[in-house]
Amino acid sequence: MATMKVAAISNPRAVAGAVANSVRENTRAELQAIGPKAVNQAIKAIAIARGYVASNGIDLVCIPVFTEVEIEGSPRSAIKFTIEPR
């Protein structure tokens, strides 16, 4: 399972669909966001994804952690969201 990267311009509904599919197929999903706008889009996507999988009797939980990634040779702080069924 690959970590999905969420950008400030990401469509939350599209990301939510990818999260819902990943949870259904792999029982978990991971999102990574750098910057406040990207984090906002990721949180919206997680909220929407909860609605997408609720009809299947799945209740999602989100575990956020800070992580460090390297972009163009310099370290950046990111937030990684692990989404799993409860």
- All domains of the chain in start order, with CATH: 4-76 (3.30.110.20)
26-78 pLDDT per residue, tens: 889 999 999 999 999 999 999 999 999 998 889 999 999 999 998 888 899 99
Q: Name the CA dihedral angle for 40, 24, 13, 50, rounded to a multiple of 10 degrees.
A: -60
Confidence (pLDDT) at 56: 87
Confidence (pLDDT) at 1: 65
Token pair of 83 as six digits: 């989404």
Alpha helices in the chain (DSSP H): 12-26, 36-54
Residue type, 42: A
Average pLDDT over residues 8-33: 94
Query: Are the C-beta atoms of 42 and 36 separated by less than 8 Å?
Result: no
Query: Are the C-beta atoms of 29 and 38 separated by less than 8 Å?
Result: no
